[in-house]
Structure 1
Amino acid sequence: MVYESGNPENSPNVTQDNNFKKIEEPEKKEGKNYEDWLPITSSRNAKWWYSAFHNVTAMVGAGVLSLPNAVSHLGWTPGVIVLVLSWMITLYTLWQMVEMHEMVPGKRFDRYHELGQHAFGEKLGLWIVVPQQLIVEVGVDIVYMVTGGKSLKRFHDLVCSTCKPIRQSYFIAIFGSVHFVLAQLPNFNSVAGISLAAAVMSLSYSTIAWGASAHQGQIPDVDYGIKSTSTADAVFNVFNALGDVAFAYAGHNVVLEIQATIPSKPDKPSKVPMWRGVMVAYIVVAICYFPVALIGYWAYGNSVEDNILLTIGKPTWLIAAANMMVVIHVIGSYQIYAMPVFDMMETVLVTKLGFTPGIWLRLIVRSSYVAATCFVAISLPFFGGLLGFFGGFAFAPTTYFLPCIMWLAIYKPKRFSLSWIANWICITLGVLLMTVSSIGGLRTIIKKASTYKFYS
């Protein structure tokens, strides 16, 4: 259901129903409300632990493997500061989104763009939020296609070192083929088992990454100096590293959609179990991120690859297992980020273009999406550059400062109050992060594209 904002006062808690004008009732399709068919709103029986492993799956992904490389470009002190600040800022902005989910009595903002419409207006909110959210979710799915294919190839090469080499493109295609089946699962709760397995895998391969690094110890003549060929190269590498960190600390793009699956009553609002799950998820994030980033950099210095599992060579069986864990994890992560995209596409097709909701619509729409992301991943498998570019261009706005802007627009905290100052600090840092990391990521993509042979 879409609403047009009136003129709410400083606190949404005093906003009355007459401040909102109903635009239109959800259209009935096949004798039922189409909202009961869409993947975000068709099931609201999730428990708090669903929130925990959905958020872990959304956040702890391919980005954790690039953190040692990011720290190698930033150096010890700046690297630690950036990691800690990002953990604190993103936890704060995630708390804001959980709070804003039901800020209007009797109304739930089940989707990111619905909250944007409330904050900025019906049309402007769509134009501000939807492009950013689509870039994030589609971009992540492309990166996870690349990650899944690369990890699958790495697993094959480790367990069968004497086998004939197989092109990376084929492994990306193999990874993508799994999603033609999984994409047909109807909603968030139906992928709960896959998401739980993915969350367990993320914790497992992160532990292997830092545990194997610690066990092997520092490499001979380890170098902690900034690796670059010139000052300009060093600066651009720092920009790209900031994008890697932004990519790693993201999950906000699906947080409202995850919270929408949790039941809510006046005496038991959804924010209580959602926040409990978020706190568990962020503890897991800290357990995964800080040891991988710092121990990985300590062990390998500036010689660490943009995926630390590529740097760790022994024991072979353990690294092979870790790569397969990555494959399982990104299978779940792909589905978590794809579900809101499916929701958007199916909403438009049903409400705007008059399609009848059903299995054939889902089969065609979702299969087309999987095929498109797989094709782009095969064509542009620049892992490090993609992380930096998408992390800066899309994740920074929707994770670091867009929730703060919406909070200021809706709650209107008193100027120079603690809330006002905290939000403006996050906005300033987020805008800077978006600008510099987008530049660094795009430069990395261009550099790698100049030497890359397509479909090799």
Structure 2
Amino acid sequence: MEIEFPGYDWKKYNNDNVDERSAEERAIDDWLPITASRKARWWFSTLHIITAVVGAGVLSLPYAMSELGWGAGAAALVISWMITLYTLLIMVHMHEMVPGERFDRYHELGQRAFGDKLGLWIVLPQQLVCLVGVNIVYMITGGQSLKKFHDLVCKDCKHIKLTYFIMIVSSAHFVLSQLSSFNSISGVSLAAAVMSISYSTVAWGASLGKGVQPNVHYGLRSKTTAGAVFDFFSALGTVAFANSCHNVVMEIQASLPSTPDRPSEKPMWKGAIVAYVIVALCYFPVALIGYWTYGVTVDENILITLQRPKWLVAMANMFVAVHLIGGYQLYAMPIYDMTEIVLVKKLKFKQTWYLRFVTRNTYVALTMFIAITFPFFGSLVGFFGGFAYAPNSFILPCIMWLAIYQPRRFSLSWLVNWVCILVGVLLMVVAPIGGLRQIIFQARTYQFYN
């Protein structure tokens, strides 16, 4: 069935027509990070998605299980994985729903669905919160993992503050931030994806090797009813955070070539499905085996709970640090693109290397400062997972699908999308409450820049 878009000029965007952009517009698009190169292969998208999804969130899943319990925890993992895969695939389909046009950025898809002004205001703030939030969390977790590595391999060394390890991780970001586009960070994503699979395997493999610990308890972590409820809310946000890459999926697909005979949707679908199978092979063993081994005594980062063998735990923490360096760049690339669009297209700055050098290093410095000031890793995951990731991963893709395709009421497509929306609304409301409560409790005893 052909979908009609009232008032849309089909001839203007037909693939057979000559590119109507001016030479200046083409030059700008060829310079911007998202549209600079469209020569990626399908497995590039697999690497980018694995890097985006299997990150800080996987390490907190056993802790989330300890807040949810066996039944609710397993159900939350399965439902979140299924819904986020579905919403990712419908976004992939909508990337080229109009023949001859590509929606290369998340907010462009929102503008197609809701109109130019409203779509921008609906999508862009949510996407920015997600991207900046995950960059801050990756800064913190990378610093924590590097500190854990140092403490394990050098027991007798002088104590070094977490602040300095975050700064060490940030030094790599100042260098890598100058890579121009998604294709230019493919090697970084390859290294990051290998590292993420490796430390996930270490996490569940080492837990399995230890077996059930003495006096293990599988009840809820909190001893009070109020605490259990708030922990439940926060854990839902953690699970939502762990299964999301929707804020960069349109931008990743923009790096793939597309022709009328072979649109980018085909290789992107292949890359996304392969990536999500690998994600499941990482997430479910870590969450379930980690909780099975430690019960409610598991830490918010399972690699902190693991103590022996020291060499294996130290290696896994280094894997985490390397992966999060790559993951940071993946999530930062749309930020760089937005900044450069404003500067070059709106404010008419020239496309120069020093413009890119100043703006990107400023962003890295800003996220480093926030990470050093507020290193509440577990609570940040729960807060951002509910407040920002739930709308972008569960709600907005389905609303845009309903707005654009307008499936028949009570049809299967209509029902599935509305179920996803309702689940997302629930997460958006309850998850930030639990995360914010934990942030407040931890802030009472935290000493800044300690």
TM-score scaled by length of structure 2? 0.96
Aligned partner of 1:339 in structure 2 is 333
- 1:63 matches 2:57: yes
CA contact (8 A) 1:27 1:351 kept: no
- Contact 1:59–1:248 (Cα < 8 Å) also in 2: yes
Deviant stretches of 4+, over 4 Å? 13-17, 19-22, 25-29
What is the identity, as a one-letter code, of the residue corresponding to 2:58?
A: V
- Aligned residue in 2 for 1:12: 3
Identify which of 115, 120, 127 aligns with 1:126: 120
- Equivalents in 1 of 2:78, 2:48: separation in Å? 22
CA contact (8 A) 1:401 1:427 kept: yes
Question: Judging changes above 3 Å, is the alpha-carbon distance between structure 1 residues 20 and 249 closer, same or farther for their aligned structure 2 residues?
Answer: farther
Counterpart code for 2:113? A
1:330 aligns with 2:321: no
Instruction: State the AA in 1 paired with 2:46.
Output: A
> Hey, what's the Cα distance between the residues in 1 that align with 2:98 and 2:259?
13
What's the secondary structure of 1:221's corresponding residue?
coil
> In the TM superposition, what are the counterparts of 1:279-318 in structure 2 within 5 Å?
279-318=273-312
State the partner residue of 2:443.
Answer: 449
Asked if residue 378 in structure 1 is aligned to residue 369 in structure 2, the reply is no
Comparing 352-361 with 98-107, greater Cα deviation is found at 352-361
Task: Give 1:114's aligned residue.
Answer: 108
Q: State the distance in 1 between where 2:185 and 2:93 align.
A: 25
Whole-angstrom distance in 1 between the partners of 2:333 and 2:2: 32
Kindly indicate whether residue 73 of structure 2 is the aligned counterpart of residue 82 of structure 1. Answer: no
Q: Amino acid of the residue matched to residue 112 of structure 1?
A: Y
In 2: Cα distance, 1:377 partner to 1:68 partner: 23
| Alpha-carbon distance in structure 2 between the residues aligned to 1:316 and 1:432 | 41
Rounded Cα–Cα distance in structure 2 between residues aligned with 1:15 and 1:283: 39
Aligned 8 A contact 1:393 1:434 in 2 = yes
Write the letter of the residue equivalent to 2:51: T
Residue aligned with 1:423, SS: helix
Give the 3 Å change call, closer, same or farther, for CA 433–11 of structure 1 in structure 2.
farther
1:208 equivalent in structure 2: 202
Of 173, 193, 200, which aligns to 1:199?
193
- Tell me by how many angstroms 1:27 deviates: 6.8
2:363 equivalent in structure 1:
369
Give the equivalent residue in structure 2 for 1:265.
259
Question: Does the CA contact (< 8 Å) of 1:188 and 1:258 recur in 2?
Answer: yes
For residue 313 of structure 2, what is the aligned residue in structure 1?
A: 319
Following superposition of structure 1 onto structure 2, how do residues 179-194 of structure 1 map, counting pairs within 5 Å? Answer: 179-194=173-188
Distance 1:335 1:27 in 2: 31
SS of structure 2 residue aligned to 1:427: helix
Matched, 1:236 2:230: yes
Q: Tell me, yes or no, if structure 1 residue 396 matches structure 2 residue 400.
A: no
How far is 1:33 from its partner?
Answer: 2.3
Deviations, residues 274-333 of structure 1 (Å, cap 9, x unaligned): 010001100110000000000000000000000000001000000000000000100110
Q: Distance in 2 between the 1:20 and 1:32 partners?
A: 20
User: Using a 3 Å threshold, how does the CA distance of structure 1 residues 99 and 12 change in structure 2: closer, same or farther?
Assistant: same
| 1:12 positional shift | 3.4
Residue 149 (structure 1) aligned with residue 140 (structure 2): no
SS at 2:445's partner residue? coil
1:164 paired to 2:158? yes
CA distance in 2, matches of 1:78, 1:233: 16
Partner of 1:4: none
Following superposition of structure 1 onto structure 2, how do residues 410-425 of structure 1 map, counting pairs within 5 Å? 410-425=404-419
User: How do 1:428-447 residues align onto structure 2 when only pairs under 5 Å count?
Assistant: 428-447=422-441
Write the deviation string for residues 364-403 of structure 1: whole angstroms up to 9, x where unpaired.
Answer: 0000000000000000000000000000000000001110
Q: For the residues of structure 1 that align with 2:343 and 2:420, how far apart are their CA atoms?
A: 37
For 2:427 and 2:382, how far apart are their aligned partners in 1? Answer: 11
The corresponding residue for 1:6 is none
Contact kept? 1:15, 1:104, Cα under 8 Å: no
- Counterpart CA distance in 1 for 2:150 and 2:398 is 45
Distance 1:221 1:398, change over 3 A: same
For the residues of structure 2 that align with 1:220 and 1:174, how far apart are their CA atoms?
38
1:36 aligns with 2:30: yes
Q: Are residues 132 and 21 of structure 1, via their aligned partners in 2, closer, same or farther at CA, if it must alter by over 3 Å?
A: farther
RMSD over aligned Cα atoms: 1.5
- Tell me how far apart the structure 2 counterparts of residues 431 and 306 of structure 1 sit (CA, whole Å): 25
C-alpha distance in 2 between matches for 1:366 and 1:446: 31
Query: What residue ranges of structure 1 are gaps of 5+ in the alignment?
Result: 1-9
Cα distance between partner residues in 2 of 1:443 and 1:200: 35
Q: CA deviation at 1:450?
A: 1.0
Q: Structure 2: which 5+ residue stretches go unaligned?
A: 14-19
Counterpart contact for 1:65–1:308, Cα < 8 Å? yes
Are the aligned partners of 1:11 and 1:411 in contact in 2 as well (CA < 8 Å)?
no
Deviation at 1:203, TM superposition (A): 0.5
Summarize deviations over 1:143-187 as a string: whole Å, max 9, x none: 000000000000000000100000000000110111110000000
- The letter for the 1-side match of 2:226 is A
Tell whether the 8 Å contact from 1:56 to 1:285 is kept in structure 2 after alignment. yes
Report the counterpart of residue 17 of structure 2 in structure 1. Answer: none
**What residue is the counterpart of 2:16 in the other structure?**
none
SS of corresponding position for 1:450 = helix
Compared CA separation, residues 21 and 269, structure 1 to 2 (3 A): closer
Structure 1 contact 11–412 (Cα < 8 Å) conserved = no
Query: Residues of 1 paired with 2:168 and 2:83: CA distance?
Result: 37
Give, as a single letter, the amino acid of the residue that structure 1 aligns with 2:68.
Answer: L
* SS state at 2:418 partner: helix
TM-score normalised per structure 1: 0.95
Cα drift, residue 229 of structure 1: 3.1
